[in-house]
Amino acid sequence: MSILFVINQLSGNSDKVNPQALVRAFPEDKADFFYIRKPSDTWSPHGYDKIAVCGGDGTLSQALNLCRGLPVTLYYVPCGTFNETAKTHKKGAPMTPKAFIGNIGGRCFSYVAAAGSFTSIGYSVSASAKKKFKIFAYLAKVVGAYKVHNIPATLRVGDKTYSDSFTLIMFIDSSRCFGFNFNRIYKDTSDLYLLTVKSPGKNSLLNKIKIFFPFFRAFFIGFSKPYDSRNMHFCKISEAELVLSSPRDFCLDGDKVVLDGSLKISKQPSDVRLYIVKKLK
């Protein structure tokens, strides 16, 4: 059996990764190492029985997409800044299998796919800032990302259709996002959760004040049940269709991805056996 250890040295807490501990955790396997030192560094899972990735949620998301359709077992060792996927699944055995993976437009995501207000924070923080300032590197971006967006879109969820201009569209497979443990109805099943915030119009001071209240309601108060108002909608979904009128920047687990057109969103049975490694000896 062979294993490839992928260590993302751009992640916020990669300095804590102990290569010897990784090898000890898989003593029966022939081990190779690949180090991600710059964003353009790429690796391949081909030729390996197991892949162990050390990094943040974005590192895991990239691994899920690279390993799709291959007969490999994927292990995730969280050493990012937020590690929302691992924190959501912190209960249970040291290695917890995750059976369903989020999918938007044919791309896997481990915990969130979102566009609009504040979402650029996920991919705009530099690696050096994350390593030096940790979570505070993200907080420093909040004021600049506090903008009203206008995303004309149509959302079809079950027998309901929502056509509007949104300042936030979020599909989330987690109880958490950016440190806010707001989704208290989360269950790790085949369901996703949808949060939308309606845009009040142009990016003006008055409209920034208007979006403060639904954002405060969503992330600081949180949800214990579905919520539906004139400006905000939060619910559990099994699948959805999002139709965008123009290309939009999305944050997929902390990575920037441009999406456009008609997109199918769902949780799908994972064809990669994924384990979240909670602790190494």
pLDDT of residue 100: 85
In this predicted structure, the answer to whether residue 140 has a pLDDT above a threshold of 60 is: yes
279 backbone φψ class: left, alpha, beta (φ>0; ψ -120 to 50): beta
Query: Which helix H or strand E contains 215, and what residues bound it?
Result: helix 205-215
Dist CA 25 CA 94 (whole Å): 12
More confident residue, 241 or 189: 241
* Cα 147 to Cα 130: distance, rounded to the nearest angstrom: 23
Residues in the chain: 281
3-class SS of residue 130? helix
Confidence of residue 98 (pLDDT cuts 50, 70, 90): low
Dihedral sign for Cα atoms in the order 26, 272, 16, 10? positive
Which residues is 74 bridged to in the sheet?
51, 274
64/272 Cα distance (integer angstroms):
7
Position 92 pLDDT exceeds 60? no
| 3-state secondary structure at position 66 | helix
Per the CB < 8 A criterion, the answer to whether 165 and 147 are in contact is: no
Residues 105-116 pLDDT 10s = 999 999 999 999
Calpha distance 252→171 (Å, rounded): 10
Residues 6+ apart with CB under 8 A from 212: none
Token digits of residue 180: 């806010």
Q: What is the pLDDT at residue 262?
A: 98
pTM score: 0.93
Residue found by looking up tokens 């420093």 in the block: 140
CA angle 141, 146, 149 (to 5 degrees): 130
> To the nearest whole number, what is the mean pLDDT of the chain?
92
Task: Name the more confident of 188 and 225.
Answer: 225
103, pLDDT greater than 70? yes
One-letter amino acid for residue 187 of the chain: K
pLDDT of residue 118: 97
pLDDT of 94 above 60: no
Q: How confident is the model at residue 95 (pLDDT cuts 50, 70, 90)?
A: very low
Percentage of residues of the chain with pLDDT beyond 70: 96
The mean pLDDT value for 172-178 works out to: 92
pLDDT at position 90, please? 64
Are β-strands 192-198 and 227-228 bridged in parallel, bridged antiparallel, or unpaired? unpaired
